[in-house]
């Protein structure tokens, strides 16, 4: 079965159990002989005062009726029923609900009316999938009673109140380990690069991240933690995705300039069609670099919807599926400065170039074809950009056709798993024209000029690049409730660079011990974790460009 990335969550799609159900009662012999997998609904009735521990081993249950009994306590072990979607504990003698109930994140309906409940655990607010919470006929007072008695009461109103008052674990995540990959081979030029999707404000909603308190989703809270994390790692080059236009110019750029950075930015293509007020909320990609180590020489924006239009060749699928997605890539040609080198550098090796690119590829798992085509267009445009650079350089004519002359650093949120066509294409340099990620759509003819391959049955790109993070180092770079996996990457030119080390994963024990089912979280400001790589740049012959120091923005 193919893996899927997260889709937007719908809160109210749960089908409630049939209120007119027909009850059937099994004898102990029938219960013992019936296959466990068949028992997904269970009713326990008859004045029961205590629940057997064997009940909590029935983890396949999705519906459980415990109503009309004599229960004084609902054991915390109820949380072991991880698949339970409907729980009815009405008409008992309960005075509260166990805090462990907050771990039952599959619950969609909780009926607890006509008990003696006077307090609720704030952990109940973690049940972000809950469609119905019935607490009528209890002894609740104060703020909770006020919310329940509103004429406009909604279940999510109470859940929001509870989760916003849920105590935050005092322990911050332990420092992520640094994993050494190789020793410095006496290269004078070392640098680090960070890739980070910061989750822009407009996407950080309760509908998407209902397990996170509102105050921890608020941008004024998250942006400080994001900036603190960026500054903490002190990367020489920073690649960011989902940066809102206004936040780049009014927050990140001014704040990072204080730390010795400068940067470039471009919003998604939709910004061109919006008013000035709306445009400032459009997110895009940014590249920051330490001015002590690098100079910006040229920059290049890649708009995938425009490239799709230019390459459609009358293909309806290209126009209807690819052109409608306005993701972008952004490239910066950087030149090393004396500050980038260790002592004893050969002066002839100063002023080397590095081509840095960041990209944010379309998210929807139903559009694997779009992801792959956007990535193909990205690499084709990088080839065009490099060709233009080399044509204006002083290198011999026979080398101007080789794009690998300039070291490439490719970073981004590719929204694609390691076994996808996107990562296969980037890593191996080719992908079959009939790859399953193209689905049933016919793109072969219109993509032919993006292929750069001598073989008719494949598309290829000319860059020799490798993944900085090997398989297994990071179990996930994106950690939300619905999806956990690797979708953020750093690729580097293996002819010119070597990986010395990478930042390891967040502590999985910390996530488990604190019951963190997804991020953002009060201690984790995005649903992505930043990845950081230390690289050494092998000496190459510096390229003289014309003009040598002018910053040129190239568009086509």
Tokens 């510096």, residue?
542
Digit-coded pLDDT (tens) for 168-209: 887 899 999 999 998 876 667 899 999 999 999 999 998 899
The string of DSSP letters for 378-391 reads HHHHHHHHHHHHHH
Residue spans of alpha helices (H) in 151-267: 155-164, 214-217, 219-233, 245-247, 253-257
C-alpha 356: how far from chain center: 21
User: Does residue 319 carry a pLDDT above 70?
Assistant: yes
Q: With bands split at pLDDT 50, 70 and 90, how would you rate the model's confidence at 383?
A: very high
User: Does residue 9 carry a pLDDT above 50?
Assistant: no
Percent of the chain with pLDDT over 90: 77
Tokens 């704040």, residue?
255
- Measured CA to CA, the distance from residue 426 to residue 342 in angstroms comes to 32
Average pLDDT over residues 447-465: 84
Pairing of strands 237-244, 283-290: antiparallel
Q: Which residues of 77-90 are buried (b: 16+ CB within 10 A; e: fewer)?
A: ebbbbeebbbbbbb
Residue 206 DSSP symbol? T
- What pLDDT is stored for residue 399 in this prediction? 79
Model confidence, pTM: 0.89
User: Does residue 20 carry a pLDDT above 60?
Assistant: no
Establish whether 387 is a catalytic residue: no
- What pLDDT is stored for residue 452 in this prediction? 65
Average pLDDT over residues 7-36: 52
Tokens 């002023």, residue?
351
Instruction: Name beta bridge partners: 396.
Output: none
Average pLDDT over residues 264-271: 96
User: Does residue 21 carry a pLDDT above 70?
Assistant: no
Q: With bands split at pLDDT 50, 70 and 90, how would you rate the model's confidence at 34?
A: low
Digit-coded pLDDT (tens) for 139-153: 999 999 999 999 999
Digit-coded pLDDT (tens) for 243-255: 999 999 999 999 9
Across the chain, mean pLDDT equals 89
Q: With bands split at pLDDT 50, 70 and 90, how would you rate the model's confidence at 283?
A: very high
- What pLDDT is stored for residue 463 in this prediction? 96
User: Does residue 539 carry a pLDDT above 50?
Assistant: yes
Q: How many CA atoms lie within 13 A of 379 on its CB side?
A: 29
Q: Which of 68, 201, 413, 437 is catalytic?
A: 413
Average pLDDT over residues 132-140: 96
User: Does residue 121 carry a pLDDT above 80?
Assistant: yes
């Amino acid at each position: 079965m193919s893996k899927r990335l997260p889709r937007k969550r719908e809160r109210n799609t749960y089908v409630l159990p049939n209120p007119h159900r027909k009850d059937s009662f099994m004898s102990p012999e029938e219960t013992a002989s019936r296959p466990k997998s068949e028992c997904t609904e269970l009713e326990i009735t008859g004045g029961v005062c205590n629940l057997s521990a064997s009940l909590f081993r029935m983890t396949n249950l999705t519906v459980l009726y415990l109503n009309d009994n004599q229960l004084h306590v609902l054991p915390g072990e109820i949380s072991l029923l991880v698949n339970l979607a409907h729980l009815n504990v009405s008409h008992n003698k309960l005075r509260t609900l166990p805090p462990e109930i907050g771990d039952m994140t599959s619950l969609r309906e909780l009926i607890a009316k006509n008990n003696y409940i006077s307090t609720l655990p704030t952990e109940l607010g973690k049940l972000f999938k809950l469609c119905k919470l019935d607490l009528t006929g209890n002894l609740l007072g104060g703020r909770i009673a006020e919310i329940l008695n509103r004429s406009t009461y909604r279940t999510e109103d109470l859940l929001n109140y509870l989760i916003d008052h849920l105590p935050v674990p005092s322990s911050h995540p332990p420092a992520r380990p640094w994993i050494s990959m190789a020793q410095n081979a006496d290269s004078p030029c070392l640098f680090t690069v960070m890739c980070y999707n910061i989750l822009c404000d407009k996407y950080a909603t309760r509908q998407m991240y209902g397990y996170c308190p509102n105050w921890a989703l608020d941008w004024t809270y998250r942006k400080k933690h994001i900036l603190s994390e960026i500054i903490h790692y002190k990367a020489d080059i920073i690649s960011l995705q989902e940066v809102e236009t206004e936040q780049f110019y009014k927050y990140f750029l001014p704040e990072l300039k204080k730390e010795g950075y400068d940067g470039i930015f471009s919003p998604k293509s939709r910004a061109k069609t919006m008013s000035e007020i709306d445009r400032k909320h459009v997110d895009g990609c940014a590249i920051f670099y330490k001015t002590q180590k690098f100079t910006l020489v040229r920059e290049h924006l890649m708009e995938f919807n425009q490239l799709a239009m230019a390459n459609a060749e009358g293909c309806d699928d290209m126009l209807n599926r690819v052109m409608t997605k306005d993701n972008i890539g952004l490239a910066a040609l950087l030149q090393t400065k004396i500050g980038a080198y260790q002592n004893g550098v050969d002066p002839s090796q100063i002023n080397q170039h590095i081509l840095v690119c960041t990209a944010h590829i379309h998210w929807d798992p139903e559009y694997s074809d779009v992801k792959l085509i956007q990535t193909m267009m990205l690499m084709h445009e990088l080839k065009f950009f490099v060709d233009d650079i080399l044509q204006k350089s002083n290198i011999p004519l026979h080398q101007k056709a080789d794009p690998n002359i300039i070291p490439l650093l490719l970073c981004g949120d590719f929204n694609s798993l390691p076994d996808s066509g996107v990562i296969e294409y980037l890593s191996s340099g080719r992908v079959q024209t009939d790859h399953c990620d193209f689905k049933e759509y016919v793109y072969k003819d219109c993509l032919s000029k993006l292929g750069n391959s001598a073989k008719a049955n494949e598309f290829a790109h000319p860059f020799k690049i490798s993944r900085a993070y090997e398989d297994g180092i990071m179990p996930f770079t994106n950690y939300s409730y619905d999806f956990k996996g690797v979708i953020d990457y750093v690729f580097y030119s293996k002819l010119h660079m070597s990986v010395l080390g990478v930042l390891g994963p967040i502590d999985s024990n910390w996530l488990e011990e604190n019951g963190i089912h997804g991020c953002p979280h009060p201690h984790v400001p995005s649903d992505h974790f930043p990845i950081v790589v230390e690289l050494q740049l092998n000496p190459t012959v510096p390229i003289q460009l014309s003009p040598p120091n002018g910053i040129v923005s190239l568009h086509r």
